[in-house]
Amino acid sequence: MLGDRDQLTRLFTNLLSNAVQYTPSGGKVQVTATHHKHLGQLEIQVQDTGIGIPAEAIPNLFDRFYRVDSARSRKQAGTTSGSGLGLAIAKTIIEAHQGEIQVDSTPNQGTCFTVMLPSL
Ligand SMILES: Nc1ncnc2c1ncn2[C@@H]1O[C@H](COP(=O)(O)OP(=O)(O)O)[C@@H](O)[C@H]1O
Ligand SMILES: [Mg+2]
């Protein structure tokens, strides 16, 4: 695809750091990328086996400064503590690239973010 390298790096850094931050140790984070050539779309999924997101939080998830519960983050050296901006920034970057983001989550089972971006 054609895109802004720094912004796309930021987008996936935000999704991956959330997956790590909200998954207890021993869990799994999986990334898959699929090129749907016939649709002209790239599909990238970031899946984790973490704490999940309650259904009532999903509508606000991409709002600036929104955090489900500040006590949920796993304390981790080297990661910034949450500001509630990561997903708002991710969404802005995706929209600037004419893409879309979806989330599918089950509390205590895990979360899957799916990003669709136009490919060449
Ligand atoms: N992979 C995930 N698993 C569980 N909860 C998540 C995940 N990603 C985001 N969240 C929830 O969505 C909120 C917003 O995410 P984000 O904008 O990145 O803010 P934060 O700075 O809190 O990480 C987080 O506070 C967290 O509660
Ligand atoms: Mg975050």
Torsion of CA 83, 49, 111, 86, to 10 degrees: 20
Q: Is the CB of 68 under 6 A from ligand 1?
A: yes
SS3 47: strand
Domain positions in the chain are: 5-118
CATH number of 5-118: 3.30.565.10
**Rounded Cα–Cα distance for residues 20 and 17 (Å):** 5
From first to last of the 120 residues of the chain, give the pLDDT tens digit.
999 999 999 999 999 999 999 999 999 999 999 999 999 999 999 999 999 999 999 999 999 999 987 667 666 544 446 789 999 999 999 999 999 999 999 999 999 999 999 998
- For residues 114 and 101, the answer to whether their CB atoms sit within 8 Å is yes
Distances (CA, A) of 90 to 8, 12, 39, 71: 9, 8, 23, 22
E strand intervals along 14-109: 29-36, 41-48, 100-106
**Rounded Cα–Cα distance for residues 94 and 115 (Å):** 8
Q: Is the CB of 101 under 6 A from ligand 1?
A: no
Q: Is the CB of 15 under 6 A from ligand 1?
A: no
**Rounded Cα–Cα distance for residues 111 and 113 (Å):** 7
Q: Is the CB of 53 under 6 A from ligand 1?
A: yes
> What pLDDT score was predicted for residue 76?
52
> What pLDDT score was predicted for residue 8?
98
> What pLDDT score was predicted for residue 78?
46
> What pLDDT score was predicted for residue 69?
77
Of ligand 1's listed atoms, the one at least distance from the Cα of 110 is 3
**Rounded Cα–Cα distance for residues 110 and 28 (Å):** 9
> What pLDDT score was predicted for residue 74?
63
For residue 38, report the distance from its CA to the centre of ligand 1, in Å.
Answer: 33
Conformation bin of residue 40: beta by default, left when phi > 0, alpha when psi is -120 to 50: left
> What pLDDT score was predicted for residue 81?
63
